[in-house]
Each structure stands twice: as C-alpha cells, then as structure tokens.
Amino acid sequence: MALNMEMLASYDQSVEFFQDFLGLGEASIAMGPSVVSGFFASAFSLPFDYVKTQIQKMQPNASGKYLYTSSLDYAMKTLKSGGPLKLYTGFPVHCVGIAPYVMLT
C-alpha cells in the first residue's frame, strides 16, 4: 500500500514539474517522472519493508519469548536504539529492486 501510494503521488507531481517548470517534451516526460517516482517509492516503502522483514526473521529466545511483541514495538525500539536511519538499512539494494518495477508500471 505504501509503495503504490507514493508511486502514484510522486509520479503525478513529477509529471507536472517536468512539463510546467522544465518544459520538456514527451520523451523526457515518459522516463524522467518514472525515475523520480521509483526513487521516492523506494524511500517511502523501505521502512515498512525493513520492519516486516525483521519481524519475519525474529527467533524466540531461550525461554521461548519473542523480543518484540509487534511491528510497532519493533519500530519504536529500533528508532530509540538506532535512530531513523536504521530503518533505511539496505536502501541501495531496495532501490535497485523496486525502482525498475515502479518505472515499468
């Protein structure tokens, strides 16, 4: 949901920018906004994907309890311990994987 929302919003704004402010033609409008949209969609969706992946990889401790009770619990503890940039771990890899998908759709 986050990926699609940001993909649509950033693409629409990018098309306006490329047309109105830069005055570019059809070829640039076809590819330029797609690149911009791919970057922003990757940046917006990565924190959600990172938290989801970490929750999926979580293993119980010796007593059988999980360290985090929910995705929100994991996100809050990660923000306190590692700061907001911790949620962007692996951004280049995520961007290379998601941006082409966004550019083609």
Report pLDDT digits (tens) over 16-31.
888 887 777 666 677 7
Among 88, 10, 92, smallest CA distance to 47 is for: 88
Q: What is the four-CA torsion angle of 75, 13, 30, 48, rounded to 10 degrees?
A: 10
pLDDT at position 28 is: 65
Let me know if 46 is exposed, middle or buried by CB neighbors in 10 A (0-12, 13-18, 19+): buried
pLDDT at position 91 is: 92
Question: Looking at the predicted structure, is the pLDDT value of residue 63 above 70?
Answer: yes
Whether the full predicted model's pTM is greater than 0.75, yes or no, is yes
| Confidence band of 86 (pLDDT split at 50, 70, 90) | very high
Segment 74-89 shows an average pLDDT of 94
Higher-confidence position of 17 and 48: 48
